[in-house]
Amino acid sequence: MSNTTFVPDGATYWAHYDHIGEIHGSFNIFEKMWAAWYAWIANDVLATGIMSFVMHELVYFGRSLPWMICDAIPYFQRWKIQDQKIPSYAEQWRCIKSVLFTHCVIELPQIWLFHPFAKAAGMSTDVPFPAWTTMAFQIAVFFVLEDAWHYWFHRLFHWGPFYKHIHKIHHEHSAPFGLAAEYAHPVEVMMLGLGTVLPPIAWCWFSSDFHILTMYVWICLRLFQAIDAHSGYDFPWSLHHFLPFWAGASHHDVHHEKFIGNYASSFRWWDYVLDTEAGAEAQQRRRDKKRAERDAKAIREQQMLSMESMGKDAAVMKSQIAVDKKTL
């Protein structure tokens, strides 16, 4: 269905809503509200831009608020990973101002440009919405792709000049907190943000099967992941306790504390496979691995010495037999 409906010019949003309900009775309430929004604005780029930016701000600061409350209540400090480092109100306010500036100056243009690029690649904004199974599969793919992008660019940002001039800003907080998820240099915000935006556009381009609602759900989940990873809290019900390959706050908090390692965003496998894990457990695994390698090497050397000794003994015996034969 097209988002355009035939109602009088200047009609209210709810007039569009009622008209869509009359001609498309099978739509659920959210689909009718969605179609009425695009019909009321009458400009798809503007409608998407406004909805996307408002959603981003509400989710970012709305998800950060519970962590701000936790930081203000001593009871929750028992689950604070670095419990001696609670962000001050001044630090949080400075972070809010910086993040708002980045959102308006860096992310807003990207949000505004997303619609025409994705629409050209085949993105749909129409209703009805796609099946939840379709959305779930696509979002799972985006999580994997973004994690790979984030790992390599994050690791690159820890290289000398890039760290000094770009990434160091994000590491001003050795004990992160939720609001600091997007507290970073504009270049870093843009480059790491591409890991979130490019996979959906590429999916549009190659499959022509992508709805912007899937993008919204993906963005919300990605923001939740980033903010929770920077929260500084590890609860017994945190996701990584049930999904061992999930990174979470316990993984990323060590990165801020040690300033190295644990470069991935959502999952632990890149750091595990490429041996860039940080923290006491990772160090212990490396020590155990080195000890096992030394033990295996010592065993191989002992076996070689034994074989050489056996070879020498056999040669001596063979020589003695030859002498005995000559004597006879």
Q: Which amino acid is at 177?
A: F
Gap between the Cα atoms of 158 and 22, Å rounded: 57
How many other C-beta atoms can be found within 10 angstroms of the C-beta atom of residue 296? 10
pLDDT tens for 81-104 read 998 889 999 999 999 999 999 999
User: In a 3-state reduction of DSSP, which class is residue 103?
Assistant: helix
User: In a 3-state reduction of DSSP, which class is residue 211?
Assistant: strand
If one compares 322 and 90, the residue with the highest pLDDT of the two is 90
Gap between the Cα atoms of 251 and 239, Å rounded: 12
- C-alpha distances (whole Å) from 16 to each of 29, 92, 124, 129, 260 are 13, 42, 20, 18, 54
Helix locations, the chain, DSSP H? 13-23, 29-41, 44-72, 89-102, 108-121, 132-157, 160-165, 186-207, 212-229, 248-258, 269-273, 280-327
Residue whose tokens read 């689909």: 31
Task: Read off φ and ψ for residue 19, nearest 5 degrees.
Answer: -65, -40
Residue whose tokens read 């973004």: 146
pLDDT value of residue 168: 95
Q: Quick one: pLDDT band at residue 136, thresholds 50, 70, 90?
A: very high
Reading the block at residue 3, the tokens are 């988002």
Q: HSE-up of 245 (CA within 13 Å, CB side)?
A: 8
Least-confidence region, from 24-28, 225-229, 324-328? 324-328
Q: Contact at 8 Å (CB) between 110 and 182?
A: no
pLDDT tens for 197-228 read 999 999 999 998 999 999 999 999 999 999 99
